[in-house]
Amino acid sequence: MSDATNEELLAEARRVLVRSFGSDFTLPVIAKAEGATITDVDGRAYLDFSSGQMCATVGHNHPRIAEAVRGAADRAVHINSAMLSPEVVRLGRRVVELLPRPLDKVFFLSTGGESNEAALKIAKKVTGRYETVGLAHSFHGSTSGAGAATFIPSRRAGYGPPLPGTFAIPAPDCYRCPLALTFPACEYACARVGFELVDRQSVGSLAAVIAEPILGTAGCVEPPPGYLAELQRLARARDMLLILDEAQTGLGRTGDMWGGDRDGVAPDLLTISKTLGGGIPLAATATTAALEERAYRADFFFFTSHLNEPLPAAVGLAVLDVIAEEKLVDAARDKGAHLKRGLLALKERYEIVGDVRGRGLLMGVDFVRDRQSKRPAEAEAEAITRECLRRGLFLAATRQASRYWVWRVAPPLTISHAEIDRSLEIMEAAIRAVVGG
């Protein structure tokens, strides 16, 4: 443990660390993380309403995770990627038991970007085609294939041409509808019009559409009910595969096991990451036995140094145990409803809160200058977020200049009602401190 202060460590960081995410190092330097609380090196504690990078759904440093890491350290941390360990086989069985049918095959990687790369590659191998469709503003990872299907301008600019044959369709954003329509009268026009444009641009090689059940990085956009089923229908009409990226939504966060459950949609490929490893790099790509067989026969290759690793698999098993034993899927639904009531009350009281959306414990709080124009209240939202931090609550924002500025409210599923109430008090005090009563 370091004796250095926050200020000293941040100064040192600015000297030696690469800034890779568009912002300088300003946030507190964290010395300890436990449950829903993170504590900085100066001893200040914060409620972590971002669950780390959305990975700590079972709470930070859950004792079962610590035990699993220690156990793996006593047995095997790493083995040849072509070899298996009992942990990996058991995790495979457990994940397959949870998957929506007909998905029944899975393999394990390290990051969400990789799991999407793998899903896109399987889709290309089995269809023999290469064009992919994503939703505008969605985020699927920083690697080339997943990045090419990520349509956030700041993530794409300056790296040369992305993969040829990647198309965006409008995001299903009912708060700022790109077509200025309203649901349900729109009849999913964003998807239908999007695919009409794709049809005009395609060279006849459409392979897959990739989507998040809730667009977490796009300002927590929650598609209207039935949207994913419509997306699947549009994909099937073109003989394309549907990939659901459940990095943020998978394993209970939305109050269902999977984000696609609300619409009763089982995709052809499903990717899991953040939530499976509880903070340890662990991701998975799942598909059906039929597609796996076709990919295998077509020589599908995705081999990394950390393919099917024993240590992360042991942790994944512990995470699934905790989710089941502590009934965290139900907890996400119940506590999410409690938190949402509080957030909606803030919306009622403060004009600057333009919208509260999402479900379970994945919600967006959209800060606007006025409710008519819905232009983002960027400066005020930044100040409110800083004020929350000063008062002991960390909230992560997703934003796009002049378009939206949104808190992604996503505490660990183990958060208590008292911690939720405390966070709501802090949010309200911070809003009042910045914009008045």
Ligand X SMILES: Cc1ncc(COP(=O)(O)O)c(C=O)c1O
Least distance between ligand X and beta carbon 246 (Å): 8
Read off the tokens for 17.
């660390």
Least distance between ligand X and beta carbon 270 (Å): 12
Please report, for residues 67, 76, 78, 159, 286, the alpha-carbon distance to residue 87 in angstroms, rounded to integers and kept in the order given: 14, 10, 12, 39, 17
**What CA–CA distance (Å, rounded) separates 65 from 325?**
14
Interface with ligand X in residues 164-223 (CB under 6 A) = 212, 216-217
Closer residue to ligand X in complex, CB, 306/347: 306
Residues 317 and 94: beta-carbon distance below 8 Å: yes
Interface with ligand X in residues 253-282 (CB under 6 A) = 273
Residues 226 and 192: beta-carbon distance below 8 Å: no
Which of 50, 51, 57, 111 forms a contact with ligand X (CB under 6 A)?
111
Closer residue to ligand X in complex, CB, 269/352: 269
**What CA–CA distance (Å, rounded) separates 402 from 415?**
33
Least distance between ligand X and beta carbon 288 (Å): 21
User: Which DSSP helix (H) or strand (E) runs through 341?
Assistant: helix 328-349
33 forms bridges with which residues in the sheet?
38
Which of 87, 230, 245, 292 forms a contact with ligand X (CB under 6 A)?
245
Closer residue to ligand X in complex, CB, 256/419: 256
Radius of gyration of the chain (CA): 21
DSSP string, 123-136: HHHHHS--EEEEET
The span of 2-10, 110-118, 306-314, 341-349 binding ligand X (CB under 6 A) equals: 110-118
Interaction of residue 398 with ligand X, rule CB under 6 A: no
DSSP string, 367-397: EBS-TTT--B-HHHHHHHHHHHHHTTEE-EE
Interaction of residue 399 with ligand X, rule CB under 6 A: no
Which of 35, 52, 92, 112 forms a contact with ligand X (CB under 6 A)?
112
Least distance between ligand X and beta carbon 218 (Å): 9
The span of 84-92, 133-141, 297-305, 347-355 binding ligand X (CB under 6 A) equals: 133-141
Which of 57, 232, 248, 254 forms a contact with ligand X (CB under 6 A)?
248
Query: What strand order describes the sheet that includes 103-109?
Result: 103-109, 283-288, 269-272, 241-245, 206-211, 131-135, 166-169
Least distance between ligand X and beta carbon 204 (Å): 28
Least distance between ligand X and beta carbon 253 (Å): 11
Q: How many CB atoms lie within 10 A of CB 122?
A: 26
Least distance between ligand X and beta carbon 173 (Å): 16
Interaction of residue 355 with ligand X, rule CB under 6 A: no
Which candidate, 266, 234, 253, places its Cα nearest to that of 169? 234
Closer residue to ligand X in complex, CB, 119/426: 119
Interaction of residue 41 with ligand X, rule CB under 6 A: no
Least distance between ligand X and beta carbon 116 (Å): 6
Least distance between ligand X and beta carbon 184 (Å): 26
**What CA–CA distance (Å, rounded) separates 40 from 28?**
6
End-to-end CA distance of the chain: 42
Measured in whole angstroms, the distance separating CA 338 from the mean position of its chain's CA atoms is: 22
Which of 62, 140, 262, 340 forms a contact with ligand X (CB under 6 A)?
140
Interaction of residue 117 with ligand X, rule CB under 6 A: no
Least distance between ligand X and beta carbon 403 (Å): 18
Closer residue to ligand X in complex, CB, 198/247: 247
The span of 1-9, 17-25, 109-117, 262-270 binding ligand X (CB under 6 A) equals: 109-117
Q: How many CB atoms lie within 10 A of CB 238?
A: 16
Q: How many CB atoms lie within 10 A of CB 190?
A: 25
Please report, for residues 134, 194, 247, the alpha-carbon distance to residue 201 in angstroms, rounded to integers and kept in the order given: 14, 11, 29
Chain residues binding ligand X by CB under 6 A are 111-113, 116, 139-141, 212, 216-217, 245, 247-248, 273
